[in-house]
Amino acid sequence: MFRTPLQRAIARGMKQDGDLAEELRTLGNYTIRSRKDAKAICGALDKLPLRSDGNHFSSPLHALTGLFRDVESGDVPAFEVLYDEGLPQLIRIFDARIRRVDDDDAEDLLFVLTILALYGSREGAERIVAAAKRPLKPDDYQWHVILSELSQGHPDRDYAFEALGDPLPPAFLAVALLDSANRAAVEDELPRHPFDSASGWQRLQDWLEDRDTENFSYARSAANALPFISNPARDQLLALAMDHIDPGVQIVAAWAVATLGREAGLKMLARYCLDVNHSEVARHYLGRLDREDVIPIEANDPSFQAKAEFATWLAHPCELGEPPDELEVGHEITVGLADLFDPRRVRR
């Protein structure tokens, strides 16, 4: 009987002395399409021990869960099998291991939650809520990945946001929820933002008043939520955000003010368009508002734009990590249409 490469790898890896993660790595960029492959994954999950040993990245659960991401699309036969038979297996293992979880288990279970979020089942959403309320490793960045999936068309998004809004989760998990809800609110109408409550307003205020530079990204996330927060808290929080010492927070606050139809926000964004270190971000937010018409003429000068783009690149964490003190254009060249196709013809 013909067996696929994935079936053979799983069979070798599930032997008593086998290394499932290593066997699956030998497949390279293997794409899962067939029912056979999906059935092999479900069968292996059914045989898994409830606990893992060693590095979670090489655990059988992590290795098998990762295969759910390798399905070609939702239209291939494998997807239906994994949805109908694979997700219940992941949920069974999650329910058994969450009761007595240690650090290694926690990493595996967060990865399982990522797949449950990706596949969009109600049972998966319920496990995400339960894990967040526990809370399961609330400072782990994987929560940002998990909750980001909720904002991208998950059928039970509103249920999860409402459940996690009361009470709000602690630590970084709350920031991940905030970012996910903000994205959903910008791209689609939310019945209610999970931070639109007395406890949510206080959490937003705490982030906006935090003067630790390492937490300014949290303040920006807080400012992003403000168009979707009720008054009287909204205007009080907007005032805090507009007066923040970080220009990045001020720019987001200006966008929030402009989103509410107030001219002051557009004027502040236009001013930041003329700041070489923040011009690109200000232009981005004006684009989100469909108000590129307020960008000052000077900000469209090619030399200025070149400096603005370079300043943005330098400020990236992988480069300088902060805006430059000063920039100058050292040399300018003129490039014609023909030069774009023949770099030897560039005039210096």
Residues 203 and 174: beta-carbon distance below 8 Å: yes
The confidence score (pLDDT) of residue 316 equals 75
Using 50, 70 and 90 to split pLDDT, how confident is the model at 331?
Answer: low
Query: What tokens does 180 get?
Result: 């996910």
Q: Is the overall model pTM greater than 0.85, yes or no?
A: yes
Write out the chain in H/E/C secondary structure. CCCCHHHHHHHHHCCCCCCHHHHHHCCCCCCECCHHHHHHHHHHHHHCCCCCCCCHHHCHHHHHHHHHHHECCCCCHHHHHHHHHHHHHHHHHHHHHHHHCCHHHHHHHHHHHHHHHHHCCHHHHHHHHHHHHCCCCCCCCHHHHHHHHHCCCCCCHHHHHHHHCCCCCCHHHHHHHHHHHHHHHHHCCCCCCCCCCHHHHHHHHHHHHCCCHHHHHHHHHHHHHHHHCCCCHHHHHHHHHHCCCCHHHHHHHHHHHHHCCCHHHHHHHHHHCCCCCCHHHHHHHHHHCCCHHHCCHHHHCHHHHHHHHHHHHHCCCCCCCCCCCCCCCCCCCECCCHHHCCHHHCEC
Question: Does the pLDDT at position 325 exceed 90?
Answer: no
Q: C-alpha distances in angstroms, 26 versus 23, 118, 235, 281? A: 5, 25, 57, 43
Q: How far apart, in whole angstroms, are the C-alpha atoms of residue 307 and residue 241? A: 27
Q: How far apart, in whole angstroms, are the C-alpha atoms of residue 336 and residue 46? A: 64
Question: Does the pLDDT at position 52 exceed 60?
Answer: no
Buried b (16+ CB within 10 A) or exposed e, 290-318: eeeeebeeebeeeebeebbeebbeebeee
Question: Does the pLDDT at position 241 exceed 90?
Answer: yes
Question: Does the pLDDT at position 275 exceed 90?
Answer: yes
Using 50, 70 and 90 to split pLDDT, how confident is the model at 348?
Answer: very low
User: Lowest-pLDDT range, 98-112, 181-195, 240-254, 324-338?
Assistant: 324-338
User: Lowest-pLDDT range, 130-144, 291-305, 321-335?
Assistant: 321-335
Q: Tell me the mean pLDDT in the region 267-292.
A: 97
Residues 90 and 112: beta-carbon distance below 8 Å: yes
The confidence score (pLDDT) of residue 140 equals 97
The confidence score (pLDDT) of residue 113 equals 98
Q: Tell me the mean pLDDT in the region 124-133.
A: 98
The confidence score (pLDDT) of residue 326 equals 76
Q: Which of 23, 57, 17 is nearest to 40 (CA)?
A: 23
Q: How far apart, in whole angstroms, are the C-alpha atoms of residue 110 and residue 251? A: 34
Query: What tokens does 59 get?
Result: 């655990």
The confidence score (pLDDT) of residue 50 equals 53
The confidence score (pLDDT) of residue 198 equals 97
